[in-house]
Structure formats: structure tokens, C-alpha cells
Amino acid sequence: MSRPKEITKKLKGSDPELSAYIIELEKENLRLQKQVAKLQVQIVTKDNEIKALKQTQPKLNVFVQNFSSSEKDKE
């Protein structure tokens, strides 16, 4: 991400210490943006894996029957 020309002009004329600080912030921002992009890719990948597993998962039918033989259950 590039900064606007007006800001670049002001930055060149500003205090060198301030300029260096801003450059470091921009580097950190770029690093964090790359990290966010990688995490977003991982999220999409995991979501796709989950969808694929759900599609291939065998369907399980469970039938429950009561086999109790007590007299109370018959009433």
C-alpha cells in the first residue's frame, strides 16, 4: 500500500526521527496485513475441508426401542 504524494512530501520535510518511526509503522502494518491474509486463507481452507468431510460422512440412522418389561411401562 503506497501513501499519498502529499503525505510523502510532508514526510520528506519532517524530522528524520519521525520519518523513521513512520516507516517502521508502515513496515509493521504490511507485515500484519500479510499475516491476516495468510490466516484468511487458512480459514477458507479449513472451511472447505469441513464441507468435504461432511459430504463424505456416512449417514447414521439410530432407532431407539424400549425393551423394558416392567408392569408400569405397560400401563
Tens of pLDDT, residues 23-39: 899 999 999 999 999 99
Low-confidence residues of the chain, pLDDT below 70? 1, 70-75
pTM: predicted TM-score of the whole model, two decimal places: 0.60
Domain hosting residue 30, numbered range: 5-74
CB atoms within 10 A of CB 19: 14
pLDDT at 45: 98
pLDDT at 16: 84
Tally of structural domains, the chain: 1
pLDDT at 3: 78
pLDDT at 63: 86
